[in-house]
Amino acid sequence: MTCSKPSHPKQIALVSLCFGLGFGASCAGTANADSWLLGEGWVMLGATDGLDHSSKDEALTFGGNGTWSTHGDGLGLSFGAFGNLGRLHETYAAVTWQTVQGDRFSVGNPRPAYDLFARPALTDVFLSAALERSEVGLSRATDGTITEPKYLPLGASYTRNGAAMSLHYVENYDTYILGVSGRMDLSDMSVDAALELVDGDTTKANAKLQLNRDLGPGAASASLFYSGANAAGTELELAYRHPVGGRVTLSEIVSVPLSEPDQALVALGAQVGLGGAWSLNAAASYADTQSAFMAGLRLEF
């Protein structure tokens, strides 16, 4: 399922600042272990072809998925971004307070709890394709920002090791978004789960469940995404990521809408390590007679 995404010109400078500052902080942090700003995620410069937006302003992309935070107990800051510089992205910024036990409270526009666990594998393998179908497996706050004009969530969150809760309010749409999520580690697998209630004109819900397990030389996941609050159906995603040789990692993904199995998406990805945190990435996807391709240079931190 694809749709036309609106332009967000006022947010382009902000997402550029987030990725730019984060990129610099990540490089500095790699060289200096005592960096005051800690990052987690990745950024990539790449090119796409075959997607709805690729004939416009985003055939050449710079984006990724990252969060950068001050570390240590007490008052701090956190900011981040998910998506591509241009129209398809969401940015995050919050004032934080961290306790000695590691609990963190955030106020501003923190990342929704729903997006912290059970993420679609496609968001890491083929970001541009995932943004074209942001209604699948992502928070209503994220999907709304990408698909709706002037959709600006503000709120608060609480996170601790393996669990999160957040509440956002979108003034222009008079909508509240409450999310909870977490992870349980079992003897031979881990289970991620998330639930989101969206109260606007009516009350709707998003929910997802993901099983993760080592399988052979790689890692497999099976995810079920119910996206009623995002006006989408239920979708099953199966993914397997595994090494081939010393430098190459392959990913295979199949995502099947349960109500329309013939509209399934198939994606293949390859990551070639260049040494350190750098890699070359390529991916291809096929869905509903539409093929898409991506290649880029990626930095992980």
Which pLDDT tens digit goes with each residue over 254-269? 999 999 999 999 999 9
The pLDDT assigned to 125 comes to 98
Higher pLDDT, 98 or 71: 98
Map tokens 């609050």 to a residue. 229
DSSP string, 185-200: E-SS-EEEEEEEEEES
Rounded distance, CA 214 to CA 193, Å? Answer: 18
Residue 293 CA to residue 244 CA, distance in Å, equals 21
Please report the pLDDT score of residue 23 as a whole number. 56
CB 94 within 8 A of CB 79: yes
Express as a percent the part of the chain with pLDDT over 70.
Answer: 86
Q: What average pLDDT is seen over the chain?
A: 90
Q: For 13-40, what is each residue's pLDDT tens digit?
A: 555 556 555 555 555 444 445 677 889 9
Q: Which two tokens stand for residue 240?
A: 């397997």
Closest of 287, 7, 292, 1 to residue 147, by C-alpha: 7
Residue 71: Cβ-neighbour burial (10 angstroms; 0-12, 13-18, 19+): exposed
Residue 191 has pLDDT above 80, yes or no: yes
pLDDT score recorded for residue 274: 97
Buried b or exposed e, range 109-135, using 16+ CB within 10 angstroms: bbbbbbbbbbbbbbbbbbbbbbbbbbb
Question: What amino acid occupies position 16?
Answer: S
Cα torsion angle, 103, 64, 13, 165, sign: negative
Say whether pLDDT at 72 is over 50.
yes
pLDDT digit string (tens) for 118-165?
999 999 999 999 999 999 999 999 999 999 999 999 999 999 999 999
- Check residues 55 and 14 and name the one with the higher pLDDT: 14
Q: Say if residue 55's pLDDT is above 80.
A: no
SS3 102: coil
Between 25-39, 67-81, 166-180, 284-298, the lowest mean confidence (pLDDT) is in: 25-39
Whether the predicted pLDDT of 53 surpasses 50: yes
Selection from 40, 183, 63 nearest residue 119 by Cα: 183
What's residue 27's pLDDT?
A: 55
Across 99-173, the runs of DSSP E, i.e. the strands, are 104-109, 153-160, 163-170
Residue 10 DSSP one-character state:
H
Please tell me the predicted confidence (pLDDT) of residue 288: 86
248: pLDDT confidence band, cut at 50, 70 and 90?
Answer: very high
Sorting pLDDT into bands at 50, 70 and 90, what band is 209?
A: very high
| pLDDT above 60 (res 9) | no
Mean pLDDT along residues 224-231: 98
